A and B are shown apart, each in its own frame.
Chain A
Amino acid sequence: MFKMTEKRKLAEKEYEIWVEAPRVAEKAKPGQFVILRTTAFGERIPLTIVKTDPLSGRVCLIFQVIGKSTAELAALNPNDRLQDFVGPLGMPSEIKNYGTVLLVGGGVGIAALFPIVKGLKEAGNRVITVLGAKTRELVILKEECRAFSDQLIVMTDDGSDGNQGLVTAAMEDVFLRETVDVAWAIGPSVMMKFAAKMAQNYDVPIYVSLNPIMIDGTGMCGGCRVTVADSVKFACVDGPEFLGTEVNWEEFIQRMKQYSREETDSYEAYIRQVNPFGEKKLQQNTDAGTGAGNPVE
């Protein structure tokens, strides 16, 4: 069992948690992820490692509530325990001094982008970071990213922060303005797909971090297989980062929908068990007696 030590609400349906997992905290590198299970009935879900604190043996994750498992995770409180927590998994990002790098994060994908921003800055790169989200509230980790960026550009759909528009517009401005040696884009599939196209137009290699359905996360089932440069790769062990221009996006996006019906059914059944605010379960599932009754936050 793995103790959650802190929880913070970052935005509507977005949470930051810290979990005690000393071995993971010691080994994790930018770009890697963990797989966790909240309860003994739970499914294994992958989440990117955002920050680590090796001294206290803790790992920070940021997630968005999109279904039952993430809702259940969001309903836990500090001192509650997660059933399982394994990592760090996947290949680390290729961190080195490239010169000038462009980093693009969309929505909750900003969480996965942040450790790469930090790693690349510490490796001596000139770092330009573009953060995109629907509205101002969803531009998470803005100050953290700013601290490790030479330039920070914010794009929102509604113009409530930074410029109004898509991240690809900001990318194009940068490409027209200066030479970029390599880029990263992490966010929703469609965003990554178009970011890859934009980078291709300007001959800039671009890495994306794929988030397909995973089960074990250690290369033993192939559930997360993706087609990259016409060959089959397992995102959990060969990735999760690949060159965006080599990914078969149509196939990737299609495979993400495999269980949409089951996911909806499961989430709706879960919501029927929680109060109308959707945040606190009426019945604590495993660890009772840890401040049950405290609302989230």
Chain B
Amino acid sequence: MKRSYNKTPMPEQAPEIRWNNFEEVALGYDLESGILEASRCLQCKDAPCILKCPVMIGIPGFIKAIKEENIQKAYEIISRYSNLPAICGRVCPQEKQCEMVCRLGQSKKFEPVAIGKLERLVADWALEQPVEKVERTFHKGKVAIVGSGPSGLTAAGDLAKLGYKVVIFEALHTAGGVLTYGIPEFRLPKRIVAKEIERIEALGVTIETNVVVGKTITIEEIQRDFDACYIAVGAGAPHFMGIPGSALNGVYSSSEYLTRINLMHGYQFPTYDTPVQKAAKVAVIGGGNVAMDAARSAKRMGASQVTVIYRRSVEELPARVEEYHHSVEEGIEYSWLTNPVAYLDDGTGKLAGVQCVKMELGEPDASGRRRPVTIPGSEFVIEADVAIEAIGQGSNKVLLATFPELAVNKWGYIDADEETCATNVPGIFAGGDIVTGAATVILAMGAGKLAAKEIDQYVTAKEA
């Protein structure tokens, strides 16, 4: 059979239907499409895709198993490397990772193999299978993990498989971190997250919710009761631009807006008790995945006009390409090369609009991207009754403030060794966004895997 030039298409909800609901947009491959797509893989011996995957999944191997219609085998291969494949298959920026270096995609005519979509097919199949409760003995020691986001969950899964008794402490009432409160239902259904977490718990991992480490229990208590600790609390403290009018009613951080919607089910108010302000016109500030998520959520909350305000141009947009395309299909508008300078008051303390200036791109900055420069006299107003700032997050000080011995860098992130996740305090490891600053789910998972390996070595050496 002739190899198709393009990726096998995945069915999606039509834009004009999906912008009215929070159901998943991409509906997933069936087995037939999966086999078709799997047969496009060249089965490269030196597989560049593996090297570009932060957890180095044996990609050609699992794709071959799909082609042979052995989904069980494909799942076994993936789970050797990843504890959260249904999540990564959905939210990884594959175009910047495995699929970017796919040899098929390197040729002019062909699109790369849809590795993420194939991973998702396998993982979703596995989630439908009954969870096997393996009785494990935890003979190697006790490890505490602070934070139940992708990094903490991954480390927990690997450590449990190695024979450790693992307890995860989570501050919120539901586990999952950004998978639960940040990424919306229409990209990552919460039942998928819940099922993946059940799988981790089935390995013998205990998750204690409603525990704020530093407040409810202290790091000293953890050091006393556990052989090692992995801190994976993420970068959850929102940044605000601090422009005039930031306190007006209707101005949100993306963290608050998305937490209300995702974690608290605000879109199902009043069935759920947490409200989210309904707005006719919404302005979202920023250009990352979080900005896309906030804009698309606002559309689903019934806004007739949603404008993303970004200070650079479409070429510099840091969001996943697929999410940007989805947002455009859903009618999200973009105001490129635009920077907000003030929020305007409608006279009653509510937001009336966002005062902006136009920008032009100057010389490249340290990051290699052309730096936006204000065009004098270009002020204009974007009308909005809700504005959502999605300009990034920083490190949350609640835990760090109670643990001053732990070294942090000049940005307030934990100063951990990238090769080992070790901090300056013996037995305390750290990884994910609290070390790197806000990054991706898969990088956080990679750090979790590394931490598990290093913690195993540390505890084993200590016992010896």
Chain A residues positioned under 8 Å from B265 (CB to CB): 41
The one of A68, A89, A220, A269 that contacts B236, using a Cβ cutoff of 8 Å: A220
Indicate if the CB atoms of B398 and A221 lie closer than 8 Å. no
- Within the complex, the shortest CB–CB distance from A152 to chain B, in Å, comes to 32
Q: Which of A196-220 contact B (CB under 8 A)?
A: 215-216, 218-220
Chain A residues positioned under 8 Å from B171 (CB to CB): 86, 216, 218
Indicate if the CB atoms of B270 and A219 lie closer than 8 Å. no
* Any A CB within 8 A of the CB of B271: yes
- Within the complex, the shortest CB–CB distance from A67 to chain B, in Å, comes to 9
Assembled-state Cα–Cα distance A89/B255 (Å)? 19
Assembled-state Cα–Cα distance A37/B277 (Å)? 21
Assembled-state Cα–Cα distance A255/B265 (Å)? 22
- Within the complex, the shortest CB–CB distance from B445 to chain A, in Å, comes to 20
Assembled-state Cα–Cα distance A27/B246 (Å)? 35
* Any B CB within 8 A of the CB of A277: no
Indicate if the CB atoms of B398 and A237 lie closer than 8 Å. yes
Indicate if the CB atoms of B215 and A27 lie closer than 8 Å. yes
Assembled-state Cα–Cα distance A68/B209 (Å)? 24
Q: Known: A83-B173, A259-B277, A269-B270. Is A219-B256 also a contact (CB below 8 A)? A: no
Q: Known: A44-B264, A222-B238. Is A27-B216 also a contact (CB below 8 A)? A: yes
* Any A CB within 8 A of the CB of B374: no
Q: Which of A25-43 contact B (CB under 8 A)?
A: 27, 37, 41-43
Indicate if the CB atoms of A88 and B173 lie closer than 8 Å. no
Q: State the majority secondary structure of interface residues on B.
A: loop
* Any A CB within 8 A of the CB of B217: yes
Chain B residues positioned under 8 Å from A258 (CB to CB): 249, 277
- Within the complex, the shortest CB–CB distance from B332 to chain A, in Å, comes to 23
* Any B CB within 8 A of the CB of A262: yes
Chain B residues positioned under 8 Å from A251 (CB to CB): 247, 349
Indicate if the CB atoms of B216 and A88 lie closer than 8 Å. yes
The one of B172, B249, B271 that contacts A216, using a Cβ cutoff of 8 Å: B172
* Any B CB within 8 A of the CB of A9: no
Indicate if the CB atoms of B271 and A218 lie closer than 8 Å. no
Q: Which of B366-417 contact A (CB under 8 A)?
A: 396-398
* Any A CB within 8 A of the CB of B56: no
Indicate if the CB atoms of A86 and B173 lie closer than 8 Å. yes
Indicate if the CB atoms of A41 and B249 lie closer than 8 Å. no
* Any B CB within 8 A of the CB of A163: no
Indicate if the CB atoms of B256 and A254 lie closer than 8 Å. no
The one of A84, A215, A248 that contacts B260, using a Cβ cutoff of 8 Å: A215
Indicate if the CB atoms of B253 and A266 lie closer than 8 Å. no
Indicate if the CB atoms of A219 and B396 lie closer than 8 Å. yes
Taken residue by residue from 219 to 236, chain A's Cβ proximity to chain B (1 for < 8 Å, 0 otherwise) reads as: 111110101000010000
Taken residue by residue from 149 to 167, chain A's Cβ proximity to chain B (1 for < 8 Å, 0 otherwise) reads as: 0000000000000000000
Indicate if the CB atoms of A89 and B272 lie closer than 8 Å. no
The one of A23, A227, A257, A269 that contacts B211, using a Cβ cutoff of 8 Å: A23
Q: Known: A221-B256, A255-B249. Is A87-B274 also a contact (CB below 8 A)? A: no
Instruction: Determine which residue in A88, A216, A251 has the highest number of CB atoms from chain B within 10 A of its CB, and name it.
Output: A216
* Any A CB within 8 A of the CB of B342: no
Q: Which of A53-84 contact B (CB under 8 A)?
A: 68-69, 83-84
Contact-residue size bin, chain B (C-beta under 8 Å from the other chain): 35 or more
* Any A CB within 8 A of the CB of B362: no
Q: State the majority secondary structure of interface residues on A.
A: mixed
The one of A87, A216, A222, A248 that contacts B215, using a Cβ cutoff of 8 Å: A87
Assembled-state Cα–Cα distance A266/B277 (Å)? 14
Indicate if the CB atoms of A218 and B273 lie closer than 8 Å. no
Chain B residues positioned under 8 Å from A225 (CB to CB): 240, 247
- Within the complex, the shortest CB–CB distance from A201 to chain B, in Å, comes to 27
Q: Which of A233-270 contact B (CB under 8 A)?
A: 237, 248, 251, 254-255, 257-259, 262-263, 265-266, 269
Assembled-state Cα–Cα distance A220/B399 (Å)? 12
In the complex formed, the residue of A with least CB distance to B253 is A222
* Any B CB within 8 A of the CB of A85: yes
Chain A residues positioned under 8 Å from B242 (CB to CB): 232
* Any B CB within 8 A of the CB of A24: yes
Chain A residues positioned under 8 Å from B101 (CB to CB): none
Chain A residues positioned under 8 Å from B255 (CB to CB): 220-222
Assembled-state Cα–Cα distance A86/B169 (Å)? 12
The one of A215, A219, A263, A269 that contacts B264, using a Cβ cutoff of 8 Å: A215
Q: Known: A220-B396, A258-B249. Is A23-B217 also a contact (CB below 8 A)? A: yes
Assembled-state Cα–Cα distance A257/B242 (Å)? 22
Chain A residues positioned under 8 Å from B396 (CB to CB): 218-220
The one of B215, B237, B264, B275 that contacts A89, using a Cβ cutoff of 8 Å: B215
- Within the complex, the shortest CB–CB distance from B443 to chain A, in Å, comes to 20
Assembled-state Cα–Cα distance A44/B209 (Å)? 14
Indicate if the CB atoms of A87 and B216 lie closer than 8 Å. yes
Assembled-state Cα–Cα distance A89/B238 (Å)? 18
Q: Known: A215-B256, A215-B260. Is A41-B215 also a contact (CB below 8 A)? A: no
Taken residue by residue from 326 to 363, chain B's Cβ proximity to chain A (1 for < 8 Å, 0 otherwise) reads as: 00000000000000000000000100000000000000
Indicate if the CB atoms of B216 and A216 lie closer than 8 Å. no
Indicate if the CB atoms of A220 and B237 lie closer than 8 Å. yes
Indicate if the CB atoms of A220 and B216 lie closer than 8 Å. no
- Within the complex, the shortest CB–CB distance from B168 to chain A, in Å, comes to 15
Assembled-state Cα–Cα distance A89/B171 (Å)? 11
Indicate if the CB atoms of A222 and B256 lie closer than 8 Å. yes
Indicate if the CB atoms of A41 and B272 lie closer than 8 Å. yes
Indicate if the CB atoms of A215 and B274 lie closer than 8 Å. yes
Indicate if the CB atoms of B272 and A220 lie closer than 8 Å. no
Instruction: Determine which residue in A37, A85, A88, A223 has the highest number of CB atoms from chain B within 10 A of its CB, and name it.
Output: A223
- Within the complex, the shortest CB–CB distance from B287 to chain A, in Å, comes to 20
Indicate if the CB atoms of B398 and A218 lie closer than 8 Å. yes
Q: Known: A221-B256, A225-B247. Is A42-B216 also a contact (CB below 8 A)? A: no
Indicate if the CB atoms of A266 and B249 lie closer than 8 Å. no
- Within the complex, the shortest CB–CB distance from B214 to chain A, in Å, comes to 9
Instruction: Determine which residue in B209, B238, B397 has the highest number of CB atoms from chain A within 10 A of its CB, and name it.
Output: B238
- Within the complex, the shortest CB–CB distance from B218 to chain A, in Å, comes to 8
Assembled-state Cα–Cα distance A215/B274 (Å)? 9
Indicate if the CB atoms of B212 and A86 lie closer than 8 Å. yes
Q: Please report A residues at the B interface, Cβ cutoff 8 Å.
A: 23-24, 27, 37, 41-44, 68-69, 83-89, 215-216, 218-223, 225, 227, 232, 237, 248, 251, 254-255, 257-259, 262-263, 265-266, 269
26 residue pairs of the A-B complex, CB under 8 angstroms, read: A23-B216, A23-B217, A41-B271, A41-B272, A41-B273, A69-B273, A84-B173, A85-B210, A86-B216, A87-B215, A215-B260, A215-B274, A216-B172, A218-B171, A218-B212, A220-B236, A220-B237, A222-B238, A225-B247, A232-B242, A237-B398, A259-B275, A259-B277, A262-B270, A266-B275, A269-B270
Among all A-B residue pairs, the 3 with the closest Cβ atoms:
A262-B275, A221-B256, A220-B236
8 other contacts beyond A44-B264, A219-B397, with CB at 8 A cut-off?
A: A37-B173, A41-B271, A86-B173, A87-B216, A216-B171, A251-B349, A258-B249, A262-B269
